[in-house]
C-alpha cells in the first residue's frame, strides 16, 4: 500500500529530471517514517486533494538546491538562493507533483495539487498530519533529493 | 459582457458579417475586422482586444501563424479559432500555439455564447476571488480567535513586496487550497503563543509542544477551511478544498511568500501574535 502511494512520485522523478538536463538519477532508499521528519536546507510542500488527500514534501540541502536551480537554468551559475532560483525550484516541485498526478490518473485515481510553499532553514521539524510517511531518497548528479509522501 | 472588445479575422467579408451579427447578439462589441494576416497583426499591435476570432485560412498566411505572431506581441491575447476546417491535427496545432478555443463553421449562436462564456468565466471568477479572499480569511481567523481565545483581537495588514520572505516565529503551518484557482494559507506563531493558546483552549496548564503543534495544525485547518467555505458560498464554481496541514518547526526557518498573489496579516491577541498569509494563483481556462 505504502509503495503504491510513492510509486507515482518515484516515476515522476525518473521521468522528469532527465528532461530537465539532469544526467544521472538513482533511487537510493525507501523508508517509512513516523510522523516527524527533520530536514535542513530547502523544503517545498504541496497539498494534494481528490481521491487521495495529503501532502508531498521535497527536500534537499541549500547547496543541492542551488545546483538543481543552476542545472534547470541551463547551467547558469547560482551563487545565492535568489528569487530566480526559488522560482525554478518551486516550478520543479510543480512539474514533479503534476507528473505524479498524471501517473495516479493512469491508475484511475484523480488528484489535484495546490501551489507550492518553499521554506528554508536548519533542523526543520516537519509534521505531515499522518502517522506514516513514506520517503524516497534520490541521488541526482551527486545531489541528495528526498521526497516524503503522506497520502490517505 | 457589453464592454468586451472583439476583432474578427476572416478572409471572407460574408463570414465577417455573419460573425459580427452573432457576436453582437452575444453582447460583445465588434470594434475591428481584418481580412488578412498582415492587417490582423498590425491592428492587434496597436489596439487592445478582449477577444480575437481567427479564421484558419487567410490569403497571406494561416490562422496558426497569425495567432503566433499576435501572441508574440500581445502575450495574453484571447484567440478563438472559428474555421470550417477542424480536425485533430489542426486542433493540436491551435492549442500548441496558444489559441484558447476552437469552433467549426457554420457556428451556431448557442455554441458561440457557451464558448465565450467559458473563455471569460475564469477571469470573472478570479476577480471575485481576489476581491473577496482577504475578507474571508480575516473574518475566519477573527471569529476563531474571538470564540476560542477571547479578549481583544486586532488584525493589521502586514504589507509585503512581491519577492518577500519571512522569518518564522517558530511554528509554521501551510495548507494547500485547490479548486478553480489554487492557493495556499500559512499561519505562523511562536512556540510560546501556540502553547498559550493551547492552554487556554484546553483549560489545562500542562501542555507539551506536540499538543501545541496539534492545536496549530487544527487551527490553520479550521481558518482555511472556513474561509474557503465562505468563498465557495459566493460562487459554487470555485470548488475550493483544503489539503491537510503540513507543520514546520524550527529556530531558523525562512518562508518564501512572494511567489503568488497573496496578502499577509499580523493578528494581535492577549496571548501573543499570529502571522497569516493567504493567496491564490490564477489557473488558466481549460481548453474546450
Per residue in B53-93, pLDDT (tens digit) is 999 999 999 999 999 999 999 988 899 999 998 888 899 89
Closest residue in chain A to residue B183, using alpha carbons only: A115
Q: Which residues of A touch B183 (CB under 8 A)?
A: 114-115
Could you report the per-residue pLDDT of A75-132, keeping only the tens digit for each? Answer: 888 998 888 888 889 989 999 999 999 899 889 999 999 999 999 999 999 988 788 8
B47 interface with A at CB cutoff 8 Å: no
A84 interface with B at CB cutoff 8 Å: no
Domains of chain B (ranges, CATH numbers): 5-107 (3.40.50.2300), 127-281 (3.40.1550.10)
Cell 519577492 locates to B163
Q: Mean pLDDT across the stretch B239-266?
A: 89
Mean pLDDT of chain A: 91
A80 interface with B at CB cutoff 8 Å: no
Domain ranges, ordered by start, for chain A: 2-151
Q: Which helix (H) or strand (E) holds A91?
A: helix A83-105
Q: Mean pLDDT across the stretch B266-272?
A: 95
Closest residue in chain B to residue A118, using alpha carbons only: B256
pLDDT at A29: 84
Rounded CA gap, B41 and B200, in Å? Answer: 65
Whether B259 sits inside 8 A of A120 (CB atoms) is: no
Cell 467559458 locates to B118
The per-residue DSSP string of B59-93 comes to TTEEHHHHHHHHHHHSTT--EEEEES---HHHHHH
**pTM (two decimals):** 0.77
B186 interface with A at CB cutoff 8 Å: yes
How far from chain centre, in Å, is Cα B275?
A: 23
pLDDT at B288: 43
Whether B246 sits inside 8 A of A53 (CB atoms) is: no
Assess whether pLDDT exceeds 60 at residue B286.
no
Of the candidates A45, A125, A129, which has its C-beta nearest B249's C-beta?
A125
pLDDT at B246: 93
Assess whether pLDDT exceeds 90 at residue B144.
yes
pLDDT at B265: 94
Confidence bin at B159 (pLDDT 50/70/90)? confident
**CA neighbours within 13 Å on the CB side: how many for B251?**
1
Of the candidates B64, B54, B55, B116, the residue with the CA atom closest to the CA atom of residue B90: B64
- Let me know if domain A2-151 sits in CATH 3.40.1550.10: yes
Of the candidates B64, B1, B62, the residue with the CA atom closest to the CA atom of residue B30: B1
**ipTM of this model?**
0.84
CB contacts under 8 A, B 198-257 vs A, are 213, 217, 241-256
Taking the alpha carbons of A73, A79, A81, A82 in that order, is the dihedral positive or negative? negative
What residues contact residue A152 under an 8 Å CB cut-off, 6+ apart? A52, A53, A54, A130
Of the candidates A112, A120, A122, which has its C-beta nearest B178's C-beta?
A112
Cell numbers for B15, please give them. Answer: 463570414
Q: Mean pLDDT across the stretch A53-81?
A: 92
The more confidently predicted of residues A35 and B49 is B49
B177 interface with A at CB cutoff 8 Å: yes
- Within a 10 A sphere around the Cβ of B284, how many other Cβ atoms? 8
Whether B255 sits inside 8 A of A117 (CB atoms) is: yes
Could you report the per-residue pLDDT of B190-236, keeping only the tens digit for each? Answer: 999 999 999 999 999 999 999 999 999 999 999 999 999 999 999 87
Taking the alpha carbons of B203, B207, B210, B212 in that order, is the dihedral positive or negative? positive
Whether B258 sits inside 8 A of A83 (CB atoms) is: yes
Calculate what percentage of chain B has a pLDDT beyond 90.
Answer: 69
Angstroms from B174 CA to nearest CA on chain A:
7
pLDDT at B285: 58
Whether B182 sits inside 8 A of A114 (CB atoms) is: yes
Cell numbers for A46, please give them. Answer: 504541496
Of the candidates B174, B178, B241, which has its C-beta nearest A117's C-beta?
B174
Amino acid at each position: 500500500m505504502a509503495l503504491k502511494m510513492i510509486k507515482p512520485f518515484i516515476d515522476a522523478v525518473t521521468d522528469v529530471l532527465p528532461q530537465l538536463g539532469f544526467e544521472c538519477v538513482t533511487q537510493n532508499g525507501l523508508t517509512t517514517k513516523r510522523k516527524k521528519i527533520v530536514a535542513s536546507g530547502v523544503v517545498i510542500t504541496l497539498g494534494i486533494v481528490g481521491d487521495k488527500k495529503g501532502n508531498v514534501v521535497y527536500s534537499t540541502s541549500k547547496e543541492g538546491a542551488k545546483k538543481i536551480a543552476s542545472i534547470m537554468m541551463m547551467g547558469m551559475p547560482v551563487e545565492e538562493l535568489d528569487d530566480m532560483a526559488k522560482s525554478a525550484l518551486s516550478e520543479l516541485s510543480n512539474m514533479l507533483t503534476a507528473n505524479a498526478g498524471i501517473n495516479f490518473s493512469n491508475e484511475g485515481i484523480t488528484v489535484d495539487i495546490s501551489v507550492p510553499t518553499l521554506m528554508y532553514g536548519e533542523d526543520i521539524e516537519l509534521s505531515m498530519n499522518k502517522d506514516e510517511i513514506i520517503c524516497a531518497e534520490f541521488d541526482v548528479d551527486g545531489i541528495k533529493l528526498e521526497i516524503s509522501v503522506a497520502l490517505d | 459582457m457589453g464592454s468586451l472588445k472583439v476583432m474578427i479575422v476572416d478572409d471572407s467579408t460574408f463570414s465577417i458579417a455573419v460573425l459580427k451579427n452573432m457576436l453582437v447578439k452575444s453582447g460583445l462589441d465588434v470594434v475591428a475586422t481584418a481580412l488578412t494576416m498582415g492587417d490582423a497583426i498590425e491592428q492587434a499591435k496597436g489596439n487592445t482586444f478582449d477577444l480575437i476570432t481567427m479564421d484558419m485560412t487567410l490569403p497571406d498566411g494561416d490562422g496558426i501563424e497569425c495567432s503566433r505572431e499576435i501572441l508574440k506581441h500581445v502575450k495574453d491575447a484571447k484567440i478563438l479559432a472559428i474555421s470550417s476546417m477542424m480536425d485533430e491535427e489542426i486542433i493540436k496545432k491551435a492549442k500548441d500555439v496558444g489559441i484558447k478555443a476552437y469552433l467549426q463553421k457554420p457556428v451556431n449562436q448557442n455554441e458561440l455564447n457557451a464558448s465565450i462564456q467559458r473563455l471569460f468565466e475564469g477571469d470573472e471568477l478570479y476577480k471575485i476571488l481576489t476581491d473577496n479572499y482577504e475578507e474571508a480569511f480575516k473574518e475566519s481567523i477573527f471569529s476563531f480567535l474571538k470564540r476560542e481565545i477571547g479578549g481583544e483581537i486586532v488584525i493589521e495588514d502586514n504589507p509585503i513586496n512581491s519577492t518577500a520572505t519571512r522569518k518564522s516565529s517558530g511554528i509554521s503551518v501551510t495548507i494547500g487550497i485547490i479548486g478553480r484557482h489554487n492557493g495556499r494559507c500559512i499561519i505562523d506563531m511562536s512556540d510560546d503563543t501556540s502553547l498559550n493558546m493551547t492552554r487556554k483552549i484546553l483549560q489545562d496548564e500542562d501542555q507539551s509542544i506536540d499538543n501545541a503543534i496539534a492545536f496549530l495544525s487544527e487551527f490553520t485547518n479550521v481558518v482555511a477551511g472556513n474561509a474557503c467555505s465562505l468563498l465557495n458560498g459566493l460562487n459554487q464554481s470555485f470548488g475550493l478544498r483544503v489539503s491537510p496541514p503540513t507543520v514546520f518547526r524550527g529556530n531558523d526557518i525562512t518562508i518564501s511568500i512572494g511567489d503568488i498573489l497573496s496578502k499577509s496579516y499580523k493578528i494581535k491577541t492577549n496571548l501573543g501574535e499570529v502571522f497569516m498569509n493567504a493567496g491564490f494563483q490564477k489557473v488558466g481556462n481549460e481548453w474546450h
